[in-house]
Amino acid sequence: MNAVIRGTGACTPEKVLTNADFEKMVDTSDDWIVSRTGIKERRVVSSGESNSDLCFKAGQNALEMANISAEDLDMIIVGTVTPDYYLPSTAALVQDKLKALNSAAFDVVAACAGFLHGLSIARGFILNGNVKRVLVIGSEVLSRITDYTDRSTCVLFGDGAGAVVVEAEETGDQNGSGLLSSYLRADGSKKELLWIPIGGSTNPITPHNVEARERYIMMSGNEIYKLAVRAMCDAALRALDQVGINTEQISWLIPHQANIRIIEGVARRLKIPDRKVYLNIEKYGNTSAASVPIALDEANRKGMLKKGDYILMVAFGGGLTWGASLVRW
């Protein structure tokens, strides 16, 4: 049995925030943002636009490409840290919007690694023979939890959604297409390096703290930076090791798009040349769980992914959480 990606999709909001817009909001410059991060612009939702709206459109696009109807889905998994509500899950809202009448639905909270966690769960369910078709989405509206007075974080984040349809394929072909391996890790002891201190059940929002800047993402960027490079390289090598593939055999590295210097550091350490690294950070910034599936969909729709290609996806984020997944296209 293989778990095969049949279709990909994405949805990014229309509204664009450029570096020039941030020059008017905080003490920053286009030069600083581009040289330190690689970001030129990012998309943000308009009022009334929700995470589940982005998921719905990305999911529809992926289903259309896969030529699979929403009613044939057995499961919907949404990786997100910016759900529409605490209750219900965003995945349940997507199930309703898609009219996926025969599907289970749940969210996965693993920050920037959320999509890779979802993909790994989908693969497990499929290989166990429990389900046949899973829609895996990574989606965020980070603009709702971004402090637009904090220059060290606000220039980084954007909104968007990416999706894949994964389907079971009965095959004895060991060289067939499919999700080949995954490696996931976490380190909760470093939660304070990237978190939102208030608003959860430990420190609920109150009339007194509602104006506190602590209800937004807080990040120790420099420390995260160093950990991210090391952790993503380690996860990548472990995912490759599971199936005896080396980095020279990789056709595409599709990394979480948090910082161009982090991506270059990972590629250099893994000895993967720049021409094999898919980048779109300059257009979208860091979209957390959405960044890998948006990049995968873009590369796919541009015809860059060929049958038989080994595609390595890696991500690192709050939790801390990180991981890697290997796919044969």
Binding site for ligand UT7 (CB under 6 A): 28, 32-33, 36-37, 112, 151-152, 155, 221-222, 224-225, 228, 258-259, 262, 286, 288, 316-317
When the beta carbons of 197 and 221 are compared against ligand UT7, the nearer one is 221
CB 328 within 8 A of CB 180: yes
Closest to 219 measured CA to CA, from 140, 157, 263, 290: 157
Closest approach, Cβ 44 to ligand UT7, in A, equals 16
Place of tokens 């999700």: 179
Q: Please pick, among 2, 51, 286, 300, the residue that the annotation labels catalytic.
A: 286
Q: Please pick, among 19, 51, 233, 256, the residue that the annotation labels catalytic.
A: 256
Closest approach, Cβ 220 to ligand UT7, in A, equals 8
CB 247 within 8 A of CB 270: yes
Q: Please pick, among 112, 154, 233, 259, the residue that the annotation labels catalytic.
A: 112
112 assigned to active site: yes
Structure tokens at 311: 């595609």
When the beta carbons of 29 and 46 are compared against ligand UT7, the nearer one is 29
Closest approach, Cβ 150 to ligand UT7, in A, equals 9
When the beta carbons of 103 and 287 are compared against ligand UT7, the nearer one is 287
CA dihedral 281, 212, 319, 41 (to 10 degrees): 0
When the beta carbons of 131 and 217 are compared against ligand UT7, the nearer one is 217
CB 189 within 8 A of CB 239: no
Residues sharing a CB contact under 8 Å with residue 97, sequence separation 6 or more, in sequence order: 52, 53, 55, 56
Closest approach, Cβ 19 to ligand UT7, in A, equals 9
Question: Environment class of residue 185 by beta-carbon count within 10 Å: exposed (0-12), middle (13-18) or buried (19+)?
Answer: middle
256 assigned to active site: yes
Q: Which positions are annotated as active-site residues?
A: 112, 256, 286
